[in-house]
Structures are given as structure tokens and as C-alpha cells.
Structure 1
């Protein structure tokens, strides 16, 4: 077991071999972290400007490769989350001259490629979403179409779905799309969530006030840093040591039940992963 006598999972961070990469994993492990869900970086961060679905494949394969190497460092395990960052639609429409509908179709093709990798058992979730900033009605509608498609493909493959969305405490509408697609709403995770969320499962950013709200709610939740592994933004959004440090803080305050919910019960319910059984 770990120094905390519990698994410690960061539900959403990125790794980049050209930046901290596996050193970030070592920092996480030294701080007491045991398990990671590693989300592929936005395609353009790896120099990929896609024209078709298969163009996304190198982004996904690089993430899978890094996860395989991270497993060798951790006392627990790591799993990929693969998909298309919703901000891509703005790059396609504003910089490359795509119509919103053409951008939607390309992004859905990228989701299909991610689903193919997941169907091979090499990812536990897909990644999709919609912009967290103001966009035109057409771009918003196209982005929602991508989310619906991602719900369908996650249901097809039997994996979960992580979403990047606007700041909100209510995703009941998205939960309805998931249910219509055959995907259990609790298997839809809002990344970068605050402490409370209706409709889907919150992956709570490790701000203390957010965590306090999640503990008070007593509902299923996960914990994340959204570490971006960018040399131009060292430590952003939160550093890889943050989740273990927040687990220590929660345990010192007597919140053992909340830690069990976030690091054992919710990961199993959402992703089907057993963080206890996968500890060395």
C-alpha cells in the first residue's frame, strides 16, 4: 500500500516527452501518487494539423506509449484517455477556413479513431467537449454534435467519456444525450469541475474550496490537476504533486470517506478500474 494506506489517482493530466514527461510521473510518485489517467495533449501541441481521422492516430499512439512507460514508475497503474480537444474547432474555423459543419465532421472522425484504439483495450475513456469561451451559435451547435457523437462511440466501445466544457454546475442536458446514446451518465466525467455537479461525475480541480464542497456534497467525485506539461507554463495548471498533497490534507482533516470515494469507489464505478488491486 502507499504512505497514505490508499491509492492516489490523478484523474486528468497530460504528459509530453519533450517537456517534463516521465519526470512529472516520478514527482507524482515520490509525493505518494499511485495511479494516473493520462489525456492526450491537443493535437496541435504535437504539431499535428489533421485533415482526416487517421491523422490523429500519432497523437493517440504517443499517449499510449507514455502511459506504458509511466506504468514502470508507478506503484499502481496508468491508463490513457484519448480524443479530440474541443478547442480544435476554433483553430479549424478561425485559422484554416473550415465551416463549422466541416470542422464537426473532422473532429467526429478523430473521435472515431480514438474509439478504434479504445476498442483494442488501450484506453479507458474518450475525450470530447465544447469550448469554454464565447463562440458563434453555429460553432456551439457543431460542438454539441461532436459531444453527442462521442457519447455514441463511448457507448459502442464500452468506455467512459471525459468532457472539457464551460464552467458549470449543471450538465443534466449532456447526461440526457449520454443516456439516449446508451452511455450511463455517471460514466460521463466533467474535467476541471468545481465541487458540485448535476448530471455527470465531477473531476474536481484540487483547489481546497472545491474539494471542501465535494466532501460536503458526499457524492461521487474524482480529483485532478490538469497538469499540462508545457515548458512555457511550468507547473500549469497544477503541478503533478498536487493530488497527493491534497489527499494528505484531506486525511489530516479526517475525510477518509471522501478519499475512498475519490480514489477507490468512483474510479471503479466510472472507469471499471480497481485501484486497490492494481497496487504493487
Structure 2
């Protein structure tokens, strides 16, 4: 059953789609049925798609598969989907711990992978980049290499004039990362912390759709985005949040009188961060 139209753009800022092993487009259909209109689809970690990278060219298969599913998702939506491409920061541990790479060699490969992702942004096939650093304890050498990868992504974002989504440790203060971005010419608001809480110093928070977090973000009135981090992994069916969650939370916020916050999260902040117009794309489908 289709829910009543929410009469507003509804954007999930960060989720994954796996048309081969996961739910794929059926998740997109669920999102739309509940009132969802727009998606930012982030490529799954390369090894989750069966790609064990040896050279930067190996990332292309991951990126191309993501572009394919984004095009199919756009065909199903009243708005559209955009791809966000990059290198998951957890790859460094897979390379160093499981495959015998040195931290410096892993850094170089991951930076080269980001250079490939940047090609897709440069030619207009992707909207933004994805990078970050481990959210778990690592050695000093892996931490330093990870921060070098993150800074490289921020430099690419500045060169391309595009946003950079980050996967990092849980934190309410990433002012250091924001300063790295500003030093490279990328405005701090164009850096997005995915899986964020309602308060964050530095980047723009992409708030996980816990009800209490969204209410707090709405009350604060600062720019924010909403996400599920839907992982689309059949081996983890209850992991993170499902694709219906963002439209359901939008409905909740509007019923509680937070109309301005809904517009902030789904129209104004996407425009500021990514340069996208969720209203125009909802109207004319371009």
C-alpha cells in the first residue's frame, strides 16, 4: 500500500544498494512507496562486491556497478538518485592486516582509488566523494596513513568543487577535519559526517534517523541531513536502518510541527552542501 504523498522532497543522504546479493531496487520501491523521492547512493566497500583491489583500476568495477544501480533507481523515483563514490576507510585494515600491505602502500593504493573516483565527479557521472578514517582502534602508522588518505580526499573535493562524505569515529567534534578542508580550499560545510548525531562541530552532520536525534537536530535549527546507512546486506538483515525509515521520520517530524526542519534537511542543506535542487528535480525529473 502506498502512503499518502508527503508533498515535499525526501532525501536519504547515505545508503547502499546491492542489486546482485541484496534487495537492490526492491529497497528503492519501498522508499518510494513511503514517500521517498531522492537518494544518495554510496558504493559498497570494494570487498563486499567481491573486488580485492591490487591497483587503482580495480576500483572501476565497483564504481561502474554503483552507477548502474543508481541509474535504475532514478528510473523508479519521482525525483532522482545520485552516486557518491570513494574508498571505504576500513579497506586499510583489510590491506594491512589480511593482505600484508604496509600502511604506506595501503595509503598509496587508497589515494589512487580516490583519484579514480574523482574522474567520475569531474565528468559529471558522480556527485560527491566518500572517504574517512577508521572508527576503531588502530596502530599509529595506520592512523597516520588513514588521515593522509582523508586529507587527499579533501584536496580532491576542493579541486573538483564537490562535497566529501566521511566515515569516521563517533564524535561531536571534527573541527580538526574541517580545518584540514578549509586549508585545502574546501568549505567546511561541504564536508559531511555520515552516521552523525544531532550535534557536531566542523562538518555538516548527516544524522542517523533515531527519533530523539532528529528532534534535537530540528530544535537546534542548524543545517543537517538525514540518512539510514541502509547496508543492503542479506547476511545482516537488521543492520542499521531500513529504506522506509527516512520518509517515516519525515512524516513524524511534520506531524510534530517541524516543517521548517524538514525543509532544511531535504531542500536547503542539500543545496548548500551538494549544489542539488531537490525541488526542481522532483518537479521535472531532470
TM-score where L is the length of structure 1? 0.98
In 2, the alpha carbon distance for the partners of 1:144 and 1:272 equals 26
**Alignment RMSD, CA only?**
0.8
How does 1:115-264 map onto structure 2 within 5 Å?
115-264=118-267
Contact conserved, 1:9 with 1:33, CA < 8 A, in 2?
A: yes
In 2, the alpha carbon distance for the partners of 1:140 and 1:183 equals 22
Aligned position for 1:65? 68
Quote the offset at 1:189 in angstroms: 0.1
In 2, the alpha carbon distance for the partners of 1:209 and 1:141 equals 35
In 2, the alpha carbon distance for the partners of 1:224 and 1:270 equals 15
SS where residue 18 of structure 2 aligns?
coil
Quote the offset at 1:236 in angstroms: 2.3
SS where residue 72 of structure 1 aligns?
helix
Aligned position for 2:51? 48
Q: 1:102 aligns with which of 105, 108, 112?
A: 105
In 1, the alpha carbon distance for the partners of 2:155 and 2:91 equals 20
Task: Specify every segment of 5 or more residues in structure 1 that has no aligned partner in the other structure, as ranges.
Answer: none
Q: 1:84 aligns with which of 84, 87, 93?
A: 87
Give CA deviations for 1:127-169 in whole Å, capped at 9, x if unaligned. 0000001111111111000010000111112211000000001
TM-score where L is the length of structure 2? 0.96
Aligned position for 1:75? 78
Give CA deviations for 1:166-204 in whole Å, capped at 9, x if unaligned. 000111100011011111110000000000111110000
In 2, the alpha carbon distance for the partners of 1:183 and 1:240 equals 31
In 1, the alpha carbon distance for the partners of 2:79 and 2:59 equals 28
SS where residue 192 of structure 1 aligns?
strand
Task: Specify every segment of 5 or more residues in structure 2 that has no aligned partner in the other structure, as ranges.
Answer: none
After superposing on structure 2, the runs of 4+ consecutive aligned residues of structure 1 that deviate more than 6 Å are none
How many equivalent pairs are there?
279
Contact conserved, 1:42 with 1:85, CA < 8 A, in 2?
A: yes
Quote the offset at 1:5 in angstroms: 1.6
In 2, the alpha carbon distance for the partners of 1:143 and 1:241 equals 33
